[in-house]
Amino acid sequence: MKKLISTLILFLLAGVACYAQVAITADNAAPDPSAMLEVISTTKGLLAPQMTFAERSAIVSPATGLLVICTNCSTNGTGVVSIYLGGKWQNLTDTCDVPVAPAEGVHVQSNTQIIWNWSTVLIATGYKWHTFDAFFAGINRGTATTITETGLTQGTNYTRYVWAYNACGPSEPVILHGQALTCGSAFTRTHPAGTVAPVTKTVTYGTVTNIPGETTKCWITRNLGATQPPNTVSDNTEAAAGWYWLFNRMQGYQHDGTTRTPNTTWITPIPADSDWESANDPCSLLLGSAWRLPTSTEWTNVDAAGNWTNWNGPFNSGLQMHAAGYLDYSNGSLTNRGSDGIYWSSTQYSTGNGWYLYFGSGTSGMNNDSKAYGFSVRCLRD
């Protein structure tokens, strides 16, 4: 062993003396071009000298860049990496890195249970899950990134919390959103009048999946705020039309054909440089956090896969969409109910315009226009 170490030292000294690059490795790998010396391994580390604070302080004239492991140099007496820079010893870190929060996964939701899922996280050694925001009371899932919760109430929305953790502590929680509902079942919501619903109304929403273009998504089968499905593609009743929204605004508007509610001053223009924010999403606010507006990509996919060329395509699909009309961008007046079907996406086109799905008696496709228009809303969940 002594002979091997002596040979290695001589080899390194010879390499340095002639300015050759050196790699210490189990195979014949070359060092990185930027390195004079590289130690290559996937199973072992490079161990720096270890010493106490007193021993480190006793080093005479330490060179700039000298690096050691000081075993008791942190404020709480634990070990840290120390490097001599700027005429003094400096600790590279005296903190312990906790994991970042996991990302919410795709949950499997049925009438009485939800299988909750979340992502793996680097440097996490485990995860905790709970029904409220309390890490230390949480259920330890070890390295599992899923948990099945049973005995739930059909149609009810649920919020849960997950933390990643390691020896240094827990991450911030990721908030999980789900609804105990098998897609294809109906659920009932009472919408109280206020900052989202324009009037108080109780609505039973049907749901449907396997819509061409977005087969994995679950959709409601009537417009948000509609108390009945349309009888025809040109149905011009308020009951079938439901409510209307401006882009990225939570307040909905009802129009009975004569009066708009609320009959407040119309907001125009809306020069906001953002997509529809989740805090303003009427689907989440009225149906529960598992629901959201479709993106422009999702509407594009449905329109293309359904081969929609006019309003018959949307109406005869599982979504049964119709020409609910719109509220004009200039003053909020009801326009073309029974002639035009216009449904917002959550995606903006520009600072002043948003993307929407449009269809009429002779056309169907994506377009963009002023965010100050009041258009219909359909909701989906993942």
In tens, the pLDDT along 100-154 reads 999 999 999 999 999 999 999 999 999 999 999 999 999 999 999 999 999 999 9
Backbone angles phi, psi at 375, to 5 degrees: -115, 165
Rounded mean pLDDT of 227-245? 97
Confidence check: pLDDT of 4 > 50: no
Neighbouring residues of 111: CB distance < 8 A, sequence distance ≥ 6: 152, 154, 180, 181, 182, 185
Q: What is the reported pLDDT for 171?
A: 97
Q: Please count the residues of the chain.
A: 382
Q: 3-class SS at 36?
A: coil
Cα–Cα distance between 89 and 236 in angstroms, integer? Answer: 78
Query: What backbone phi and psi angles, to 5 degrees, belong to 79?
Result: -80, 150
Binned at pLDDT 50, 70 and 90, residue 23 comes out as confident
Confidence class for position 2, pLDDT limits 50, 70, 90: very low
Residue 254 token pair: 């009802």
Q: How far is it, in rounded angstroms, from Cα 313 to Cα 35?
A: 64
DSSP three-state, residue 162: strand
Is the pLDDT at 57 greater than 70? The verdict is yes
Q: Do strands 169-170 and 157-166 pair parallel, antiparallel, or not at all (unpaired)?
A: antiparallel
For residue 307, is pLDDT > 50? yes
Q: Is 157 in a helix, a strand, or coil? A: strand
pLDDT level of residue 6 (50, 70, 90 thresholds):
very low
Q: Each residue of 256-284: pLDDT tens digit?
A: 999 999 999 999 999 999 999 999 999 99
The ranges of the chain annotated as CATH 2.60.40.10 are 108-179
Tokens of 101: 């929060």
| The pairing of beta strand 353-360 with beta strand 341-348 | antiparallel
Nearest-5° Cα angle at 184, 178 to 186: 75
CA angle centred on 9, ends 6 and 13, rounded to 5°? 140
pLDDT on residue 5: 44
With bands split at pLDDT 50, 70 and 90, how would you rate the model's confidence at 94? low
Peptide bond before 62: cis, by omega within 30 degrees of 0? no
Q: 108-179 sits in which CATH class? A: mainly beta
d(CA 81, CA 284): 48
Nearest to 357 by CA among 333, 326, 318, 336: 326
Q: Which residues pair with 358 in a beta bridge?
A: 342, 365
State mean pLDDT over 325-354: 98
In this structure, which amino acid lies at residue 323? A
* H-helix or E-strand spanning residue 381: strand 380-381
Dig out the tokens for 129 from the structure.
């899950």
> What is residue 183's DSSP assignment?
B
Listed residue (131, 118, 132, 133) closest to 164, CA to CA: 118
Which residue bears the tokens 């001589």? 10
What is the pTM (predicted TM-score) of this model? 0.75
Q: Is the Cβ–Cβ distance between 225 and 237 less than 8 Å?
A: no
